[in-house]
A and B are shown apart, each in its own frame.
Chain A
Amino acid sequence: MINELMIIIFAPLLAGVLAWIFDVKGIREGVAIIGAAVPLAYLIQAYQTLASQPSIQYSIVLSGFKFEFILYHLSWVFAMIAGVVGFAAVLGMVSTAKDSYEWLFALMSLTGVYGVFLADDLISFFIFWEIMTFASFMMVLKYNRKASLKYFLLSVLGAYAMLIAIGIIYAKVGAFDFTSVQRVFYQDAMRSVMGSDTLFSRNELLLIFGLFLTAFGVKAGTFPLHVWAPDAYSETNQSYTAMFSGVLSKAGVYGMLVIYILLGTRLMYEFGNIGAAPKFGYVIAFLGGITIIVGGLLAALQEDIRKLFAYSSISQIGYILVGIGVGTALSIEAAIYHAISHALFKGLFFLIVATIIHRTGKTQFKDMGGLAEKMPVTFAMAFVAILSLAGIPPLVGFASKWLIFEAVIHQNMPILGGMLFFGSAIGFVYLIRFTYAVWFGQRPTELDDTKDAPLPLAIAMGILALLNVVFGIAPGIVAGELNKIFGKEIIQGTIWELNLGFGRYNGLFITIWLVVGILIAAVIYFLGAKVRRVPVTDTYQAGNPVTMDYNLTIRRNFFLPLKETLAFWLRMSFDRLYQDIGSWVEDLAETLRHYIYNGNVQAYAWYLAAILIILALWGV
């Protein structure tokens, strides 16, 4: 009992180390699956404990520092995301992992995520954050050095920002644990209401907020700090990306929630509200809105399947940030709901991508096509994932998106509402591109003997697809858990129904009537003449004959008109901006080395003399 939290956190790491040491095929996979399954089992068990008591706590003292861990409803929900999607990703890695190196760091990053979610003080939060970053960096490093360095640089930026913020907080508060920090900021808020002096001045508060926002924004992939994500997500084992995008990005989202928990009250009183929503949240929400649009538009223009889903992941994170930014209880619940569904459908998508790449060895859209016939199981999974991401009722993607829409629009935020609508359309757009280029059309001849998904991947995809459907038809299951976080019935209704008072969504009715509608359509269909199966070459091309020798399916530049329409905007790129800054810094260093630090002793003597003269003139 006492070590429950420690087992949850360290079981994956232990399994990873064991898998690394016993580098035998078969054993390492088994150990890794056990390592991912144990925390999940403990978390499921902890659900019953949490029903009777508000939280499970544990602390250890190591060389003067007290590390505190806590499992309560919020962290349980996030840990369950990590547990389920992490488990599925590990199952997927059974098929795709090449060596024990990957096992070690994949499971290490899982440990890091669990640690972040369960930490109850800033120091352990930071340490596990860094473990997570380091492990995922190592996963990318093995595949692509440049992408990993970009990821590393931005992560280091985030880490320093977080460290400085933690330092400022510690200097004033004198404690690391969340409870004390939260209490101090709460008292500060009360003091500022009274008009008396506060511990943190307005500017310090703003600085801490900005630093935390940078730190968590990097991990979540917020615009304009998203540039690492497309490269890092695509240049690694795609099964691992299911975890990377599905779970690790949630650490950034969780971080945003930590801002609310620690600084929320103070920030709200200091900067005031717009309507019912806090002003500081607007920053997060608007960044989220821009993230949706930028990520989505760029996703539609990608030519690489991994890049497409990397950008789409960024875009979908934007929804979560909008929900968090609006800052009402409902919108935060909606955001957490979308975090769950994002993990489910995005994890599923990256496993599908892993399967495709594993089986075909191709990553570019131009090399694919017509795979639906060859990989029916994977295609069925992709169908579920596409419907879920596009927000088609009755799947989980719709339930959570619907909640975010309602929460945002109900707070009278027209511009954010428009951004959300645009985001849902752009979702359709890039998904159709993926569907058309990969699954349909003429198949290149070298893909003719492609096999369907290997069993572990199929199981992993099956788990996630099932949850996508179940949580969509019965959204109340999730809503019930989310209500527990706030301790009140914010989303009412039964397990089939979400009832907000000003809007209702019933997953069961939609399912029933969709089935009824499809049955009616099927009756009409089956009353008609018998169908004859024709090959893909038997299509109308203005009367011209078609042969399989030439592939007529549009694979490259599918959304060319969009590219042309957006030509002006596409010229701006934050990625290029950062690269330019990087090369300027490099040039500057080069100049300095050339003219000043040129290794000439005489020159150094002159500098010394000049400084002495300046000091003398100054009158020292």
Chain B
Amino acid sequence: MVDWRLFEPLFEFARRKSLWIVAFCTGCGGIEMPPLMTSRYDLERFGMMPNPAPRMADLFLITGYVTPKTLKRIIITYELQPDPKYVMAHGSCPLNGGVYWDAYNAIKHLDKYIPVDVIIAGCMPRPEAVMDGINKIMEMIEKGTADGWKRYKENYEYYRKNQDELFGEGWREKEARRWIPWLMDRKKEE
């Protein structure tokens, strides 16, 4: 309709300076979020804001280890987010399993299932390290290398294959039929 390429630098600036976070606080990394948000480190200086709804999120934080159960939710939440979206993983667990390297029920390589833009090393990373990671992702957005959402589209078959290998075909429907009755039956007992 309108050629927006002229305004692309402005958009890039806005994207960089207004990262709304959906934090998937499953692991121990979740505890690093409060100091980041509050007066000690104050992420809002960079225009970042925690946001509970993935539809308006930009930055997806995976804070800690991932199990198959949470990975299902991570994938669904990731797919709900609008492009462009960025993923940042905390700590060694999503990177290579960390201390759970030999656990039967932890996901060792998160980037096999969804593309991860930045991984912060450490167990756990200090808030300073997280801030460094955020700085990194801002740089990457500026350079245009934070292209996880593009890779997910281009290599969708690869990611889909890995997901299906882990959970089996049709896992979404199966999961839906499992959790809703659980919720509803609990209600009936009241």
Residues A546 and B176 in contact in the complex (CB < 8 Å), given A527-B2, A540-B54, A540-B80? yes
A564 within 8 A of B: no
Tell me if B109 is interfacial: C-beta within 8 Å of chain A: no
Chain A hits for B54, CB < 8 A: 540, 543
A197 contacts the other chain (Cβ, under 8 Å)?
no
* Known contacts A550-B180, A552-B180: A544-B1 contact under CB 8 Å: no
CB-defined contacts of B55 to chain A, threshold 8 Å: 540
Is A538 at the interface (CB under 8 A from chain B)? Answer: yes
Contact A547 B80 (CB under 8 A): no
When the two chains form their complex, are residues A543 and B180 in contact, meaning their CB atoms are under 8 A apart? no
Instruction: Contact check, A544 vs B179: say whether CB atoms are below 8 A apart.
Output: yes
B-contacting residues, A170-223, CB 8 Å? none
Given contacts A527-B1, A540-B53, A540-B80, A549 and B74 within 8 Å (CB-CB): no
Residues facing A in B25-81 (CB within 8 A) are: 53-55, 72-74, 76-77, 80
Q: What per-residue 1/0 map shows which CB atoms of A529-556 lie under 8 Å from chain B? A: 0000000001010111111011010000
- Of chain A, the residue at the smallest CB distance from B184 is A550
Complex-state Cα separation, A224 to B184, whole angstroms: 40
| B180 surroundings in chain A (CB, below 8 A) | 546-547, 549-550, 552
Question: Inside 8 A of B2's CB, which chain A residues have their CB?
Answer: 527
Q: Is B175 an interface residue (CB 8 A)?
A: yes
Contact B173 A543 (CB under 8 A): no
Interface size, chain A (Cβ < 8 Å)? 13
Name the A residues within 8 Å of B9 (CB-CB): none
CA distance A552 to B180 in the complex (A): 9
**Is the CB–CB distance between A543 and B77 below 8 Å?**
yes
Contact A543 B181 (CB under 8 A): no
The answer, yes or no, to whether A502 is at the interface (CB within 8 Å) is: no
Interface pair B176/A547, CB less than 8 Å apart: yes
Contact A550 B181 (CB under 8 A): yes
Tell me which residues across on chain A come within 8 A of B77, comparing CB atoms: 540, 543
Interface size on B, residues (CB 8 A): 21
Bound complex: CA A547 to CA B177 (Å): 7
Report the Cα distance A543→B176, complex, angstroms: 11
Q: Which residues of B contact A544 (CB under 8 A)?
A: 73, 76, 175-176, 179
Q: How far is the CA of A546 from the CA of B79 in the complex (A)?
A: 14
In the complex, what residues of B have CB within 8 A of residue A526's CB? 1
B-facing residues in A493-547 (Cβ within 8 Å): 526-527, 538, 540, 542-547
User: CA of A582 to CA of B80 in the docked complex: distance in angstroms?
Assistant: 59
Residue of B nearest to A552 (CB): B180
Write out the residue numbers on chain A whose beta carbons fall within 8 Å of the beta carbon of B53.
Answer: 540
Complex Cα–Cα for A440 and B2 (A): 34
Q: With A540-B53, A540-B77, A552-B180 in contact, is A545–B1 under 8 Å at CB?
A: no
Question: How many inter-chain contacts with C-beta < 8 Å in the A-B complex?
Answer: 45
- B172 within 8 Å of A by Cβ? yes
Collect the chain B residues with CB atoms within 8 Å of residue A540's CB. 53-55, 77, 80
Cross-chain contact A545 with B80 (CB below 8 angstroms): no
Q: Mark out the residues of chain B between 97 and 114 whose CB falls within 8 Å of any chain A CB in the assembled complex.
A: none
Closest to B72 in A: A545
CB closest residue in chain B, given A538: B80
B72 cross-chain contacts in A, Cβ below 8 A: 543, 545
Could you mark each residue 140-172 of chain B with 1 if its beta carbon is under 8 Å from any beta carbon of chain A, else 0? 000000000000000000000000000000001
Residue of B53, B177, B180 contacting most chain A CB atoms (<10 Å): B180
Q: A546 to B180, alpha carbons, bound, how many Å?
A: 8
* A543-B184 contact, Cβ under 8 Å, with A526-B1, A527-B1, A550-B176: no
B176 to chain A: which residues have CB within 8 Å? Answer: 544-547, 549-550
**Nearest-CB distance from A530 to chain B (Å)?**
9
Residues of chain A with a CB closer than 8 A to B73's CB: 542-544
- Residues from chain A with a CB closer than 8 A to the CB of B24 are 543
A526 and B176 CA atoms in complex are apart in Å by: 35
CA distance A550 to B177 in the complex (A): 8
- A329 to B: closest C-beta gap in Å: 53
Q: In the docked arrangement, what's the CA distance between A527 and B2, Å?
A: 7
Partner of B76, one of A543, A549, A550, A552: A543
Check B181 against A545 for contact (C-beta < 8 Å).
no
Given contacts A540-B53, A540-B80, contact A545 B172 (CB under 8 A): yes
Could you tell me the distance between the alpha carbons of A547 and B1 in the complex, rounded to whole angstroms? 36
Closest to B2 in A: A527
User: Distance (Å) between the CB of A204 and the closest chain B CB?
Assistant: 59
Q: Which of B77, B173, B176 has the most CB of A within 10 A?
A: B176
| Interchain CA distance A549-B176 in the complex, whole Å | 9
CB distance from B20 to the nearest CB of A (A): 14
Q: Which residue on A lies nearest to B55, using beta carbons?
A: A540
A392 to chain B, nearest CB (A): 27
Among A296-338, those with CB < 8 Å from B are none
- Looking at the assembled complex, report how far the CB atom of A358 sits from the nearest CB atom of chain B, in whole angstroms: 31
Give B150 Cβ to nearest chain A Cβ, in Å. Answer: 15
A550-B181, A552-B180 known; A545-B175 Cβ under 8 A:
yes
Q: CA separation between A545 and B175, bound complex, in Å? A: 7
CB neighbours (8 Å) of A527 from chain B are 1-2
Q: Which residue of B lies closest to A550 (CB)?
A: B180
The answer for the CA separation of A540 and B175 in the assembled complex, in Å, is 15
Known interface pairs A542-B73, A543-B77, A545-B176; 15 further A-B residue pairs with C-beta atoms within 8 A, sorted by A's residue number: A540-B77, A540-B80, A543-B24, A543-B54, A543-B72, A543-B74, A544-B73, A544-B76, A544-B176, A544-B179, A546-B180, A547-B172, A549-B176, A549-B180, A550-B176
The 8 closest A-B pairs by CB, nearest first: A543-B73, A547-B176, A550-B180, A545-B176, A545-B172, A543-B77, A545-B175, A543-B76
